[in-house]
Amino acid sequence: MIFPIDKIRSDFPILHQEVYNRPLVYFDNAASTQKPIRVIAAIQRYYEHDNCNIHRGVHYLSIKATEAYEEARKEICEFINAGNKREIIFTKGTTESLNLVATTFGKRYLNPGDEVISTIMEHHSNFVPWQQVCLERGARFRVAGLSSRGELDLEELYGMINEKTRLIALTHVSNVLGTINPVKEITAIAHQRNIAVLVDGAQGVSHLPVDVRDMDCDFYCFSGHKMYAPMGIGVLYGKEKILEELPPYQMGGEMIKEVYVDHTTFNELPFKFEAGTPNVEGVVGLREAIHYLNELGMKEVASYEESLLKYAMEKLSGIENIRVFGTSKQKASLVSFLIGNIHPFDAGTIIDKMGIAVRTGHHCAMPLMDYLKIPGTLRASFAFYNTTEEIDRLIASINKVKEMFK
């Protein structure tokens, strides 16, 4: 199939503008993706026709808004092939999903002496909550390292597993290295020892087809804004059995069943974890983004992005004095690199003035930066609306940076 790139680009109004008198090149997709016009339109339509607080309303608008919200849950369930709607919890985003699991899993399952394993390539959002809950519960937080290509050191990871291990928390795709972790294999090994597995899917779900039942992970978390939907909405997938056993995270609103002066009973799944008025607008936008992705086809998206990655890696390897971080065989479409000894912030500022948005810094992965002994990187992360011509402009801008720092 030929990827309909011109049509796709026309779906994203924000891409068609000039910054500093040059056409914008947006390569900061790992931080947040842009939104297709139909997602923007769905939100406008929602406010013009359906807006209302959901659940428990008997009137027309409340019923309509509730239907839109619950229909989205069903479609998200299908999108990631979850077992049923009770396993789909709406949150603010990946960070909230991860904090929810760390806090409630910690309360329910972590005792002094227990162990949680994570990896050195985690985003802070999947590192700090586990580190902190382990400190609180007297548990041990262990961190697996990497190979020289930026792949997870599986031997080290498996060597850490013992009878005290309660959970492995790891990312599906590294937001710095692009490494795609073998989460299915890791889950299979963990489950032989009755260890739960949480997968941070923030960088996975927008690039790869995701099937949580095939992966067999216990939890999978992601954010709408990294998959062409609005900010402030995200999902926690959890296996029903384990979600049933976890205590509620926040109190109030739809998570309540009955309240008495001396005790309270809680609603069933998924509502038990959805306290307060939810982000219905975000859910409506997320649903539309999923329609869009389904129409494109996640396999086609993955294969087009792979061609962009291959092109970028080849072009970068042709420039002298570039250090690329993350050369895993299984890699998503982003490149992290340094240009000689030039500080990433200085290089990023010059690249920006050429109309190209790349991210600079530690990418919320300070332990990884320490591990690699670098202050940060430049990161260009590609989406399916990017082109090889845009990558050529990035390469030209890198050459310009080199020239200026000669």
Residues that bind ligand PLP (CB under 6 A): 30-31, 93-95, 123, 125-126, 171, 175, 200, 202-203, 223
Residue 33 or 175 with smaller CB distance to ligand PLP: 175
- Let me know: does 93 contact 223? Beta carbons within 8 Å: yes
Separation CA 4–CA 347 (nearest Å): 33
Shortest spacing between CB 110 and ligand PLP, in angstroms = 21
Q: How far out from the chain centre does Cα 332 lie?
A: 12
Shortest spacing between CB 332 and ligand PLP, in angstroms = 10
C-alpha pair distances (Å), 308 with each of 276, 321, 333, 355: 42, 22, 7, 19
Residue 42 or 221 with smaller CB distance to ligand PLP: 221
Shortest spacing between CB 84 and ligand PLP, in angstroms = 25
Separation CA 400–CA 141 (nearest Å): 44
Residue 249 or 398 with smaller CB distance to ligand PLP: 249
Residue 126 or 187 with smaller CB distance to ligand PLP: 126
Shortest spacing between CB 360 and ligand PLP, in angstroms = 14
Residue 95 or 187 with smaller CB distance to ligand PLP: 95
Shortest spacing between CB 212 and ligand PLP, in angstroms = 16
With 0-12 CB in 10 A as exposed, 13-18 as middle and 19+ as buried, what is 323?
A: middle
Check if 364 is active-site.
yes
- Which among 111, 90, 113 has a CA at the least distance from the CA of 253? 90
Shortest spacing between CB 192 and ligand PLP, in angstroms = 26
Helix boundaries (H) for 236-297: 240-245, 280-296
Beta strands 140-144 and 264-266, pairing class: unpaired
C-alpha pair distances (Å), 76 with each of 46, 144, 391: 18, 31, 32
Separation CA 99–CA 246 (nearest Å): 13
Catalytic annotation, pick one of 52, 134, 217, 364 = 364
The contacts of residue 314 (CB under 8 Å, 6+ apart) are none
Q: Is the peptide bond before 23 cis (omega within 30 degrees of 0)?
A: no
Residue 123 or 166 with smaller CB distance to ligand PLP: 123
C-alpha pair distances (Å), 131 with each of 73, 140, 143, 214, 237: 31, 8, 10, 28, 22
- In sequence order, what E strands does 178-247 have? 196-200, 219-223, 234-238
Catalytic center residues: 364
